[in-house]
Amino acid sequence: MENIVSKEQQHDALVMRHGIEVQKKLDEAEVAICGLGGLGSNIAISLARCGVGKLHLIDFDCVDLTNLNRQQYDMKFVGIPKPEALQQEIKRFAPYIEIQTDYVKITEENAKGLLKEKYICEAFDKPEQKAMLTNVILGTMKDKILVGASGMAGFGSSNEIKTVRKMKNYYLCGDGISDPTNTNGLMAPRVMLCAAHQANKILELIIQG
């Protein structure tokens, strides 16, 4: 389908909403999103809608039917690698954004080579993956700014989801407690709340940086 507006028209609309100086900072920003599930897919959508210049989408998984309860994918994407599916979804409303995709699992060995962006969102599901990426970035990639998440499962008070500065270049979003169980599961609203915290912090850092 052809784009119904030009790149200039879409950019002018963003400037109308954000102002020239703010939008210039967003235009120049590059953000890596590590994990494209309930957190990452929602973070990516928010940042793309705000006009962030470049997104680096990284995941080694394909869209599964069980993902559709909380992740930003349509039924048509089931079986497709998440980076490819999310890129297609974003391009529907932000056709001119620069997107880099990597269908790969991030490890201690490849993290430094993959993650060239200043701003990095940790959006993994598994605690061991979260710990690995956090340790690598805080240990050997101290020029980066990391925004991670811990505790967003199930249901409950929205006000328990918070953003806390843990270190100079590390912010953690979530309640820090909740984990998915057979009784509370992984539900869209709470995951989206935490993703919104992460996206909001990234935007704040870009604009105030």
In terms of residues, how long is the chain?
209
* Domain of residue 63, residue span: 7-208
What average pLDDT score do residues 63-83 get? 96
* Tens-place pLDDT, residues 91-143: 999 999 999 999 999 999 999 999 999 999 999 988 999 999 999 999 999 99
Q: CA-to-CA distance for 207 and 209, rounded, in angstroms?
A: 6
pLDDT at 160: 84
Supply the pLDDT for residue 154: 73
Count of beta carbons in the 10 Å neighbourhood of residue 167: 11
Q: Taking the CB of residue 97, how many other CB atoms lie within 10 A of it? A: 20
Distances (CA, A) of 86 to 20, 31, 53, 161: 28, 15, 16, 25
Q: Is 60 among the domain residues? A: yes
| Amino acid letter, 139 | G
**What pLDDT is recorded for position 178?**
58
Amino acid 2: pLDDT: 67
CATH number for the domain including 55?
3.40.50.720
Any domain includes 178: yes
Q: Total structural domains in the chain?
A: 1
Q: For residue 81, what is the DSSP state?
A: B
- Give how far Cα 82 sits from Cα of 16, 86, 107, Å: 32, 6, 18
Poorest-confidence range of 60-64, 82-86, 151-155? 151-155
Domain annotation covers residue 78? yes
- Span 4-38, pLDDT tens digits: 899 999 999 999 999 999 999 999 999 999 999 99
How far is the CA of 167 from the CAs of 29, 107, 135, in angstroms?
22, 22, 12
pLDDT digits (tens, 9 = 90+) for 129-178: 999 999 999 999 999 999 999 877 777 778 889 999 999 999 999 987 75
pLDDT-derived band at 67 (thresholds 50, 70, 90) equals very high
30 and 54 Cβ atoms separated by less than 8 Å: yes
Q: Which residue has the higher pLDDT, 182 or 68?
A: 68
Residue 65 lies in a domain: yes
DSSP 8-state assignment for residue 176:
S
Q: What is the DSSP string of 19-40?
A: -HHHHHHHHH-EEEEE--SHHH
pLDDT at 83 over 90: yes
Residue 182 reports pLDDT greater than 50 = no
Angle at 50 between CA 201 and CA 119, to 5 degrees: 40
Burial class (CB in 10 A: 0-12, 13-18, 19+), 63: buried
Question: Do residues 153 and 186 make contact, with C-beta atoms less than 8 angstroms apart?
Answer: yes
**pLDDT of 180 higher than 60:** no
Supply the pTM of this predicted model.
0.94
CA distance 22 to 16: 11
The predicted structure's pLDDT at residue 184: 64
Does residue 2 lie in a domain region?
Answer: no
Residue 30 bridge partners (DSSP) = 54
